Amino acid sequence: MNKLYPLTNAQKSIWVADNLYPGTSQAVLSATAIIREEVDFSLMNKAVNLVIQHNDALRIRLTNHNGVPMQYFADFNVKTYEILDFSYEDGERDYKLWEKKMAETPLDLINSELFIFVMIKLNRQKNICFFKFHHTISDAWGVVLVIRKTLQEYWQLQQGIPAADDVELSFMDHINDELQYLTSDRFEKQKEFWSAVFDTVPEFISMTDKKGLKNLTGKRKSYILSKSLSFKLHSFCESNRVSAFSVFYALLALYLSKRSHQKDIAIETPILNRTGKKEKNTPGMFMHNMPTRIYVEPSLEFLTFVNESFKELKKFMRNQRYPYSYILKDFREKHQFSGALVDVTLNYHNAKLDSVIEYEGTWNYAGAQSNSLSLSVSDRDDTGLSVMDYDYLLDVFSEEDINLMHNNLCNLLSNALENPNKKLYEL
């Protein structure tokens, strides 16, 4: 039996959710790389094997050891991955049905492979690599890394460049690092910080009054921000030296405040939780959601609110290492509170899916989620136009609700960018 290691706190959160909602796909991550040229699938198979060999997070297996979830790293064995042929009339339609089914099918947790790779033939000039992960072994950054590393290895094999003697990038290092952090003075100081942040219960926590939602079935609705609004956003950020993330964070907080008629707003946002070049190059589940709390003062001007929001975000970022599961546990004990601390997520992606081989990358929706609303903003293709993905629970929102929400957000954003000195209550 391989050596057992404890789950990190980020992994434990995924494990708990997966056991709380068994049979759902909420812990599935999948992405598609479309390559518009002929692909040598035997070389691609070698490439992905090299990536798995040198990145042990892809070989993680989970087990239940005396009632405690643990993990071990399976030995590397060369594997021949599946090639599916959809290069026939209506094949692309059938492929999309297959892709949706794969993205929405949960993975077995115990002593099972948690990474799936499939190669797809569509036609000579359009081929696909499909990557699927259980969330306990990878976050979104890790998915990007695995795609990038696979295509890099493939390109080197194509060019006849000898495989580098890569030092294995081990997720074990992160496990040990977290164990040290949990007994450090820094951990205690950050515990005090988060206890003070949530010393009281925020006015706004959830988009719904429904308690104990059991149906996690969700849907994604995507929009591309218009050229004119995107231009206004870029100009505003450049002239005022603020980030687009700060603007969207302030915008969402303002929208939620106006919608709920509350001023004290809680929003969560995923945090990379990687420091240094080595961790940023190591696949695995490092990321965790960080709850934030912002007070929307109606008398503030929009630009001032953006800057004030960013100052608050920086405080949260400096204490981001403290695990979300600990924040939630402390919050529930202090306030005799059950349920989620935050129900709305803002995810700002700035990781580009770049590679030595040109390809088109898409993120697939898993068809299920635990929170009511997750708004993801990205420009991975570097077009200058923000893509806004609304992932929402069908028991909470209709498609019409999301259309209205997006229109309201865009109108609010346009008004704010054109009149940054307007008071929040005037927008």
Which tens digits make up the pLDDT trace of 95-116? Answer: 999 999 999 999 999 999 999 9
Instruction: Tell me the C-alpha distance between 171 and 44, whole Å.
Output: 24
Dihedral sign, Cα of residue 151, residue 157, residue 158, residue 160: positive
Query: In angstroms, rounded to a whole number, what is the distance separating the alpha carbons of residues 410 and 251?
Result: 9
Average pLDDT, the chain: 93
Q: Provide mean pLDDT across the span 220-229.
A: 95
Percentage of residues in the chain having pLDDT higher than 70: 96
Q: Is the dihedral of CA 202, 207, 210, 214 positive or negative?
A: negative
Q: Matching CATH topology for 5-162+169-173 and 203-426?
A: yes
Task: Determine the pLDDT at residue 424.
Answer: 97
Q: Look at residue 86 and give its three-state secondary structure.
A: coil
Instruction: State the chain's maximal CA–CA distance in angstroms.
Output: 65
Total-model pTM: 0.94
Using an 8 Å Cβ cutoff, are 131 and 33 in contact? yes
Please give the structure tokens belonging to residue 200: 């009281």
Query: Is the pLDDT at 83 greater than 60, yes or no?
Result: yes
The candidate with the shortest Cα–Cα distance to 146, out of 39, 37, 33, 36, is 33
Rama region for 212: left / alpha / beta (φ>0; ψ in -120 to 50; rest): left
* CATH 3.30.559.10 for the 5-162+169-173 domain, yes or no: yes
29 or 276: which leads in pLDDT: 29
Helix (H, G, I), strand (E, B) or coil at 95: helix
In whole angstroms, what is the distance from residue 202 CA to residue 295 CA?
Answer: 9
> Does residue 212 have a pLDDT over 80?
no
Report the CATH fold assignment for 203-426.
Chloramphenicol Acetyltransferase (3.30.559)
What phi, psi does 43 have (nearest 5°)? Answer: -70, -40
User: Nearest Cα to 290, choosing from 9, 5, 70, 19?
Assistant: 9
Question: In the chain, what are the domain boundaries?
Answer: 5-162+169-173, 203-426
| Residues 353, 148: Cα–Cα separation, whole Å | 7
The type of residue at 336 is Q
Rounded to an integer, the average pLDDT of 275-279 is 89
Per-residue pLDDT, averaged over 133-153, amounts to 95
**Cα distance between residue 357 and residue 128, in whole Å:** 13
